[in-house]
Homo-oligomer: A and B are copies of this chain.
Amino acid sequence: MARRISERADLLPVLGEIFRDHGFEAASLSVIGARTGLGKGSLYHFFPGGKEEMAKAVLDEIDRWFENEVFRPLREGGNAAADIEAMLVAVDGYFRSGHRICLVGALALADSRERFAAQIAGYFAAWQEALAGALARAGRADPDGLAEEVLALIQGGLVLARARDEADIFTRLLARLLARLRLKLRPASH
């Protein structure tokens, strides 16, 4: 019963970058093979369901990462204002300050959307809910609306940064957002 320490998990980050670069449809098995260094045989061994299983596994890993690094801290943190700032730091890191796009957002705009609709919707719903909770704890009025706005700014910032090939756009937007939230969350501490 030979048992490799699952290399499948090690494949997920690479697959994620491939889907980010090419999208789901255009990420052909040949480019996946080239960039992972694996032949079709190996790929179908790890992912019998083919490309669709690969993408679902990548989305699952993204969900897991955000749940651990972003959503749960937002939900269980102590100081709501600090938690929200920590979220912005984590987000800036994850998206490499605007150099990396959001795979979930990109899939939402692509024609493969329906295939992953549940995971895509769930990702944003969980994020908004966790953030709205923190905003409510911080005493903000209309936490749901504000959380929605924050998510839109992040996603839109990634779109603009990519569209204009200028990652700084994302950084600037996060900085403005941070200033605005600070003002609203801790009006006396600036």
Using a CB–CB cutoff of 8 Å, the interface residues on chain A facing chain B are: 21-23, 25-26, 101, 104-106, 108-113, 117, 120-121, 123-125, 145, 148-149, 151-160, 162-165, 169, 172-173, 176
Q: In the complex where A157-B156, A172-B148 touch, is A23 in contact with B110 (Cβ < 8 A)?
A: yes
Q: In the complex where A23-B25, A101-B109, A164-B124 touch, is A169 in contact with B148 (Cβ < 8 A)?
A: yes
- In whole angstroms, how far apart are the Cα atoms of A110 and B124 in the complex? 20
- In whole angstroms, how far apart are the Cα atoms of A173 and B152 in the complex? 8
Partner of A106, one of B109, B155, B172: B109
Given contacts A109-B110, A121-B164, A152-B157, 17 further A-B contacts (CB under 8 A): A21-B111, A22-B111, A23-B111, A101-B109, A105-B163, A108-B162, A108-B163, A109-B109, A113-B163, A124-B160, A148-B160, A149-B173, A151-B156, A153-B156, A154-B156, A155-B160, A156-B156
Q: In the complex where A155-B159, A159-B155 touch, is A125 in contact with B164 (Cβ < 8 A)?
A: yes
Among residues of B, the one whose C-beta sits closest to the C-beta of A120 is B163
- In whole angstroms, how far apart are the Cα atoms of A162 and B116 in the complex? 12
